[in-house]
Structure 1
Amino acid sequence: MNEVARVDGPAQPADMDAVPQNIEAERQLIGSILTDNDLFDRAASVVQSAHFFDPVHQRIWDLCAARIQKNALASPVTLKPFLEGDEGLDALGGPSYLVTLAASSVAPYAIRDYAQMVHDLAVRRALMSLGRDVTAKAGDVTVESEPSEQIVEAEQALYALAEQGRAERGFQSFVSAVTQAVEVASAAYQRDGGLAGLSTGLKDLDRKLGGLHRSDLLILAGRPSMGKTSLATNIAFNVAKAYRRGMTHEGKEGAVEGGVVGFFSLEMSAEQLAARVLSEAAEVPSEQIRKGDMTEGEFRRFVEAATGLQNAPLHIDDTPALPISQLAARARRLKRTHGLDLLIVDYLQLLKAASAKDSRVNEVSEITQGLKAVAKELDIPVIALSQLSRQVESREDKRPQLSDLRESGSIEQDADVVMFVFREEYYKEREKPGDHQLDKMAEWQAAMDAIHGKAEVIIGKQRHGPIGSVDLSFDGRFTRFGDLAKPWQSGER
């Protein structure tokens, strides 16, 4: 969108009476700053010069800001030399107008309310400007002007408009920081497990990661058939199933347990993904669901599971070859309409860059940067699945490592957490000796028994904590990962 759609550059149409503005509030706000410079920081956390409707007020505000930031006094007397010959000021009565402003100051306790009023009226003007811009572009019918692209641009502009004007945090006292840390820890403690982030539903993985942290990009990588999609589906199901709405520790209404999940399935259809979720919930093998080969009891469990999950906040988008800009726009729309606490993308290499690049490495770099931007913008964890290169297969030790990531530079750099799914059983099955090799067969069978139903999540990078491995159970019949019972946990699961 062009500049006219932004709060910091509002257009001023000829019919001023139709434009939301309050000149008197602007005067009193600036007058208060001119009489007490200490109030500037309180107002500047809400309003900027471009939020003022009157261009003269914009210039006066900029001068005030420049002088106050240099620890110099901003008053009618000190500003006068900088505004000599200003045509706009001359039209309002010249330098004496500065004295008039100072005389119209308001009480210090009201300064933030006046700043908020000036800001809100600027947002209204920007909305009107954005509407005119969208109308003009829609009416300009050209080959280059695709309606779908216009919708994405309009949504991006609207979301940016909604996010503008939030007070900057700046420096905080240690007492304030400690208070917030205690509030986060208290919320984590009440979440049963002491997690700082969203629970995956897998206890050992949660302990290693501390949960899924907001604004983080997590890469879940593996070779085909390792179970990447299964693990991502399990996490999505666990988060959506645990969803409970209430008042958060921040004093807002939202998810206090679990969360709303958005799942971009670029490889599988929504129906196939739903079948996987239902297979896990109903404990009916996914291939039997696909073939319809179920007993009456299994079908009843399948229907009961479907009924129980129909209200789970799990939203699936199976549009193939989605550009990163479209994905971001759809994620914004989902958060605005239904809320969004976790986003999963299956998988990274199937996304498209917004524009053609000279190499695939640069395209993947744009995609990973875009996903990280979505995580920060929407303040949610984003899990993106990724394929590994074939060089894993040529090594004797098949455990993946960071260098195995395709186009690994950008993925490794932009991700906060990189995890690999590894099932040794998959490779061991392919080493089965011939039936006539009895000694080798017995040795192979013993090795298979030791690793059967086990999987490993290798954490190769983590900004918030240590790297290492997490052992999980894996039931291939239901494509389900779970917590692995340790020998000393015979009495608990």
Structure 2
Amino acid sequence: MKRNEHSKTYNRPAPVEGLPESPELEKAVLGALILEPEQLSDVSEIVEISAFHNANNGKIYGVMLSMLERGEKIDLCTLADRPELKGREMLRYLTTLTNAVGSGINVLDHARKLRDTEIRRRMCLFGHELAARAVSDPDGVMDWAVAGITAIADRAIRADDIAPLSEVVRATLNDLERRQQARQAGECIGIPTGLQRLDALTGGWRGGQLVVLAGRPGTGKSATMLHFARTAAVAGVPVCVYSAEMPNTQLAGRMLVGGSGVNSGSFRTGDIDADGWRELERAAAELSALPVYLNDRANITMGTIRSQCKAMHRRGRCGMVIIDYLQLLDTTSRNVQSTREREIAAASRSAKLLAKELDVPVALLSQLSRKIEERADKAPMLSDLRESGAIEQDADMVLFLDRPAMYGAQTINTNRYGLISSDGVGIMHVAKNREGATGRIYFRHNKSLTRITDYDSPATDVIGEPGPF
């Protein structure tokens, strides 16, 4: 039962003419509830006290909710006996309410219309306050606006969105059948990752998942992110990439180098011959056809990312979100008592909510703490996630990138391949997988980290080249 009487409301007096209201609907709902109070528990899940623009109507509805909580009988006489509603005028008004409707048969429809009227009223008042704040507080108005419109949207969520178990069971079986068909056809169940071993272990990316990809600087987080983005886009999934670390041109350059096979050092210095230009033009044409959208705005907030992704999703342009990376987002809070850990935790939680709201996978890149450098065993652990344990809690999947060659290791001891050279080889540790198994994925990469393949792929696919791009 919803009784948020003390929450912030936009139903305050304001110099706004023509606010949406419906006295007839308010009376119809109250009259129907007096006649058929057994409907009150359902109505209370649709409208709150604030939905009643008339103060007396709101008071009556609040008294009825209080009586329902205490299990008291609700009718015309018991309402009139309540101290808050005593008086001849109030009794006369209660009587007119019951005369306004013949029965309570349509009360749920009336309640939904009343809630929609309240939402429109809130939007009007929000718009007027937004205009005032845009003048008086231009620096803070964007975050305030995002938070405000999100709060109104959350209140607009319909109570009948709750689903009976029978429907959920049927949907679950239908989804299982789809996964079985994909498996039998040798296809990835979810969005392909671009690494067959990772697809086999995780089933690919799924809607609603928060995937955290973490590693120390230089391990290849951004390169792996671009690999994931390109693979998803090739599969027809539109990808929104937010990079707080690199400009869009550098991201596109990495993708062009990886797609064309030209030397990264030559690309950086502009030393490209005719054959190289042909390969770059070919790669450019392929990349231009992919549904990948880039945003390299510095100091971007999670609120801004969520708003833009929702807008892109409505246009069919957001099937996966990649954020590079968490610690570079603008997480500053106006709460002076807030800590860095709390701000990072709030951003991580916001990323998870975005994945759930849009039913798309969200890949969130994150730094690992320096504790790894102090250990003899450099393999990352969940406790190495930098600045907040909430990241581990929110994530459905945690992937760690590890390149033993960075720490001077010449070989890697593996269960699957035995003792292998560390040159051009990376390890992806699946440290957490809420829907499946964990384990290690070995992959090959070139020196510029612009091309990544499964370890089982021929080594010629990732021929090394001098110098990082």
TM tier relative to shorter chain: 0.7 to 0.9
- The one of 88, 91, 95 equivalent to 1:95 is 91
Q: Which residue of 2 aligns with 1:401?
A: 381
Q: What is the RMSD computed on CA atoms of the aligned residues?
A: 3.6
Q: Which residue of 2 aligns with 1:459?
A: 430
**How far off is 1:350 after superposition?**
1.9
SS of the residue corresponding to residue 263 of structure 1 reads: strand
Q: Which residue of 1 aligns with 2:61?
A: 61
**8 A Cα contact 1:7 1:122, kept in partner:** no
1:135-284 equivalences under 5 Å are 135-140=131-136, 145=137, 147-168=138-159, 173-189=164-180, 197-243=190-236, 258=237, 260-284=238-262
The C-alpha deviation readout for 1:71-99, integer Å capped at 9, x for no partner, is 44322223221265558xx6xx4223323
The 1-side partners of 2:384 and 2:439 are apart by 17
Check if 1:389 corresponds to 2:363.
no
The 2-side partners of 1:288 and 1:420 are apart by 31
Check if 1:113 corresponds to 2:89.
no
Return closer, same or farther for 1:295/1:83 CA change in 2, 3 Å cut-off.
Answer: farther
Check if 1:474 corresponds to 2:465.
no
**How far off is 1:130 after superposition?**
0.9
1:348-363 equivalences under 5 Å are 348-355=326-333, 360-363=340-343
Q: Which residue of 2 aligns with 1:252?
A: none
**How far off is 1:361 after superposition?**
4.1
Task: Name whichever of 351-360 and 109-118 sits farther off.
Answer: 351-360
Check if 1:422 corresponds to 2:384.
no
The 2-side partners of 1:95 and 1:36 are apart by 18
Return closer, same or farther for 1:362/1:157 CA change in 2, 3 Å cut-off.
Answer: closer
The 2-side partners of 1:118 and 1:195 are apart by 46
The 1-side partners of 2:129 and 2:108 are apart by 31
**8 A Cα contact 1:159 1:332, kept in partner:** no
**8 A Cα contact 1:80 1:95, kept in partner:** yes
The 1-side partners of 2:443 and 2:103 are apart by 62
TM-score by length of 1: 0.77
**8 A Cα contact 1:199 1:206, kept in partner:** yes
**8 A Cα contact 2:60 2:85, kept in partner:** no
Q: Which residue of 2 aligns with 1:52?
A: 52
**How far off is 1:100 after superposition?**
2.9
Structure 1 counterpart of 2:22, one-letter code: N
**8 A Cα contact 1:325 1:354, kept in partner:** no
**8 A Cα contact 1:417 1:463, kept in partner:** yes
**How far off is 1:188 after superposition?**
4.1
Structure 2 counterpart of 1:482, one-letter code: T
TM-score by length of 2: 0.81
Return closer, same or farther for 1:26/1:391 CA change in 2, 3 Å cut-off.
Answer: closer
**8 A Cα contact 2:223 2:449, kept in partner:** no
The 2-side partners of 1:83 and 1:339 are apart by 57
**8 A Cα contact 1:279 1:478, kept in partner:** no
The 2-side partners of 1:198 and 1:139 are apart by 45
Over the matched positions of the two proteins, sequence identity in percent amounts to: 28
Structure 1 counterpart of 2:241, one-letter code: F
Return closer, same or farther for 1:398/1:155 CA change in 2, 3 Å cut-off.
Answer: closer
Task: Name whichever of 328-337 and 36-45 sits farther off.
Answer: 328-337
Extract unaligned runs of 5+ from structure 1. 244-257, 433-445, 488-493
The 2-side partners of 1:195 and 1:160 are apart by 37
The 2-side partners of 1:113 and 1:336 are apart by 27
**8 A Cα contact 1:275 1:286, kept in partner:** no
Return closer, same or farther for 1:403/1:52 CA change in 2, 3 Å cut-off.
Answer: same
Q: Which residue of 2 aligns with 1:11?
A: 12
- The one of 78, 89, 100 equivalent to 1:104 is 100
**How far off is 1:420 after superposition?**
0.5
**How far off is 1:223 after superposition?**
2.2
Q: Which residue of 1 aligns with 2:464?
A: none
**How far off is 1:299 after superposition?**
2.1
**8 A Cα contact 1:456 1:470, kept in partner:** yes
Check if 1:28 corresponds to 2:42.
no
Task: Name whichever of 355-364 and 286-295 sits farther off.
Answer: 355-364
SS of the residue corresponding to residue 442 of structure 2 reads: strand
SS of the residue corresponding to residue 458 of structure 1 reads: strand
**8 A Cα contact 2:146 2:303, kept in partner:** no
**How far off is 1:133 after superposition?**
0.7
The 1-side partners of 2:203 and 2:73 are apart by 49
The 1-side partners of 2:258 and 2:373 are apart by 29
The C-alpha deviation readout for 1:293-352, integer Å capped at 9, x for no partner, is 334343223223323333533222222343455544554554456653322221222223
**8 A Cα contact 2:215 2:367, kept in partner:** yes
**8 A Cα contact 1:369 1:414, kept in partner:** yes
Q: Which residue of 2 aligns with 1:247?
A: none
Structure 2 counterpart of 1:423, one-letter code: R
Return closer, same or farther for 1:220/1:22 CA change in 2, 3 Å cut-off.
Answer: same
Name the count of aligned residue pairs.
444
Return closer, same or farther for 1:204/1:34 CA change in 2, 3 Å cut-off.
Answer: farther
**8 A Cα contact 2:326 2:366, kept in partner:** yes
Extract unaligned runs of 5+ from structure 2. 412-416, 459-469
**8 A Cα contact 1:28 1:106, kept in partner:** no
The C-alpha deviation readout for 1:229-264, integer Å capped at 9, x for no partner, is 111111112222322xxxxxxxxxxxxxx2x32222
Check if 1:347 corresponds to 2:347.
no
The C-alpha deviation readout for 1:116-153, integer Å capped at 9, x for no partner, is 2211211121111112112222333xxxx2x2421231
**8 A Cα contact 1:189 1:195, kept in partner:** no
The C-alpha deviation readout for 1:342-370, integer Å capped at 9, x for no partner, is 22221222223323778654554444344
The 1-side partners of 2:158 and 2:133 are apart by 32
The C-alpha deviation readout for 1:437-467, integer Å capped at 9, x for no partner, is xxxxxxxxx9996455433210222333332
**How far off is 1:227 after superposition?**
1.5
SS of the residue corresponding to residue 94 of structure 1 reads: helix
